[in-house]
């Protein structure tokens, strides 16, 4: 129910439509304590925590984009879009008073990590394209492959954020689940 409600909330708020597989075996016991990442973890702690569960830095950054919804200062609280990443790139955010209201410590930690972010020079370039004999090549593919600065990529390209969020969400909610044989 939680996995389905989460996916429904994302699409109702304008995010991607995420198919959630039904029919899983319900758990009879609660999860042990300490399975969720602490909001006070730094970027390296967050990355390790996600890696231990089989999630890459890219998936950590994409999933954290869910914080675009709600009251943490990432744009319209009821719209699922890529404002989270755009606002993280605006660091240090207008004023010290305002910055303390933006995001959780974990969100701010991602914006201070080189692997999660990207160099300002590439941020200024936006989405570069080369035109050769009428054919347009997007350098985004190269950026994705070799630079891996996910906050910048998702701030530039909401479609890529939606695609990556969708697959990471499916992986997250299916992780450790068992299904009935029907
Ligand atoms: C990266 C590790 C994460 C940490 C440390 C974290 C921590 C938290 C905390 C502490 C809150 C409560 C904020 C408050 O109201 O004071 C929160 C809210 C929330 N989280 Fe996360 N979270 C993480 C990842 C995720 C993921 C993976 C998702 C979904 C895919 C998610 C979705 C949400 C949503 C929708 C809220 C409500 C936001 C609001 O109403 O302000 N979070 N998170």
For the CA of 37, the closest atom of ligand 1 is: 5
- Of 140, 55, 59, 124, nearest to 89 by C-alpha is 124
In degrees and rounded to multiples of 5, residue 32 shows phi and psi of: -65, 160
Give pTM, 2 decimals.
0.83
- State whether the beta carbon of 46 lies less than 6 angstroms from ligand 1: yes
5 Cβ inside 6 Å of ligand 1:
no
Q: Which tens digits make up the pLDDT trace of 26-85?
A: 888 988 888 899 999 999 999 999 999 999 999 999 999 999 999 888 999 999 999 999
Q: How far does residue 114's CA lie from ligand 1's centre (Å)?
A: 22
What integer pLDDT is reported at residue 130 of this predicted model? 56
- Each domain of the chain, given as residue ranges in start order, spans 2-19+40-117+150-174
Confidence check: pLDDT of 97 > 70: no
Q: What is the mean pLDDT of the chain?
A: 83
What ipTM was reported for this prediction? 0.92
The atom number, within ligand 1, closest to the CA of 106 reads 5
For residue 109 and ligand 1, the question of a CB distance below 6 A is answered with: no
The Å distance, Cα 39 to ligand 1 centre, comes to 8
Asked if CATH classification 1.10.420.10 holds for the domain at 2-19+40-117+150-174, the reply, yes or no, is yes
């Amino acid at each position: 129910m939680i996995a389905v409600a989460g996916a429904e909330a994302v699409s109702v708020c304008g995010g991607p439509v995420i198919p959630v597989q039904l029919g899983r075996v319900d758990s009879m016991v609660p999860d042990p304590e300490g399975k969720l990442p602490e909001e006070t973890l730094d970027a390296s702690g967050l990355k390790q925590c996600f890696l231990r569960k089989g999630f890459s830095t890219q998936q950590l950054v994409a999933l954290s984009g869910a914080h675009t919804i709600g009251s943490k200062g990432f744009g319209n609280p009821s719209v699922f879009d890529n404002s989270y990443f755009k606002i993280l790139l605006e660091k240090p955010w207008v004023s010290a008073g305002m910055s303390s209201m933006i995001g959780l410590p974990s969100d701010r930690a991602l914006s201070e990590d080189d692997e999660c972010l990207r160099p300002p020079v590439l941020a200024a370039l936006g989405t570069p394209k080369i035109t050769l004999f009428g054919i347009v090549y997007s350098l985004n593919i190269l950026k994705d492959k070799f630079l891996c600065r996910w906050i910048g990529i998702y701030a530039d390209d909401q479609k890529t954020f939606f695609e990556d969020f969708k697959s990471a969400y499916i992986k997250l909610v299916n992780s450790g689940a068992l299904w009935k044989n029907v």
